[in-house]
Amino acid sequence: MKVAFSNLKKSYDGKPILDIADGRIRSGSRTALIGPNGAGKSTLLKILAGLEAADQGTVQYDGRASFPQQEITLVFQKPYLLSTTVERNIAYPMKLRGFSQEMIEQRVSMLLEELNLTAFRHRKAWKLSGGETQKVALARALSFYPKLLLLDEPTANIDPYTTAEIERLLLAENTRNQTTIVLVTHNLPQAGRVCNEAIMLHEGKQLEAGTAQEVLQNPKHLTTRRFLAGELIL
């Protein structure tokens, strides 16, 4: 799914949070949204997800102004699971969309296997660890083959092994289904491993955008270079 946005503005209590003249997410890309705290990354993600409305501007999905609710999903840093089993959590979006029981069982089994969760199939969601919860939330988000997957710090505060499992699944789903992925992350090495494009935000503005190699390894903007060098950006 291609996403394009223009003249996008958002304020909270009169304070400007987002002011992007023009931006785009290429269909089938894996795009990292990077920048310091308060740059507007999560706000942009919520607008793209339809959870918040921009004060001004437009967002188009595959050239359409209408919001394709059935084709988009968002995974939060701290996801909420239904009070039921792992299997039923993952199957829930597919049931809502009328998938056959056979397709549901096949898809659930595949995702459980790829995330090493097969043994947890019938476990209650509230008995899972933080990393296990994050993996189930991702499997649930991917279950119905979304065209656009939005992720807000999906591997924050989880161990490196679980992080690697999640990254492998993201790359596999992008390859298999051409899922467009937008990833908000402060983990710059992860952005380099997972993403092939990147957008740098600062004070609500898009400073630069391009391939991940261009933005992360050879940035044009001084603020981007300072941010990547680990300097405090105010």
Same domain, 63 and 153: yes
Give pLDDT tens digits for 147-191: 999 999 999 889 999 999 999 999 999 999 999 999 999 999 999
Same domain, 115 and 129: yes
pLDDT mean over 198-225: 95
Kindly state whether residue 129 falls inside one of the protein's structural domains: yes
pLDDT mean over 91-99: 96
Same domain, 139 and 195: no
Residue 193 has pLDDT above 70, yes or no: yes
By residue range, what is the domain housing residue 111?
78-145
Same domain, 139 and 187: no
pLDDT mean over 2-25: 95
Give the whole-angstrom CA distance, residue 25 versus residue 23.
7
pLDDT band at 70; cut points 50, 70, 90: very high
Contact 76, 25 (CB under 8 A): no
pLDDT mean over 35-53: 95
Which is nearest to 200 in space by CA: 31, 77, 74?
31
Supply the pLDDT for residue 231.
81
Same domain, 62 and 176: yes
pLDDT band at 232; cut points 50, 70, 90: low
Residue 206 has pLDDT above 60, yes or no: yes
Same domain, 55 and 33: yes
Q: What proportion of the chain, given as a percentage, has pLDDT over 90?
A: 95
Sign, CA dihedral 178-76-195-2, equals: positive
The residue behind tokens 């919520």 is 46
Give this prediction's pTM.
Answer: 0.94
Same domain, 126 and 164: no
End residue of a domain, out of 145, 164, 189: 145
Name the DSSP letter for residue 82.
Answer: -
Give pLDDT tens digits for 106-147: 999 999 999 999 999 999 999 999 999 999 999 999 999 999
Domain count for the chain: 2
pLDDT mean over 30-38: 96
Same domain, 108 and 199: no
The CATH number that applies at residue 204 is: 3.40.50.300
Supply the pLDDT for residue 233.
63
Whole-angstrom CA distances from 11 to 46, 47, 169, 200, 207 are 13, 12, 35, 19, 19
Which is nearest to 126 in space by CA: 67, 179, 85?
85
Same domain, 170 and 62: yes
Same domain, 151 and 55: yes
Planar angle of CA 151, 228, 76, nearest 5 degrees: 15
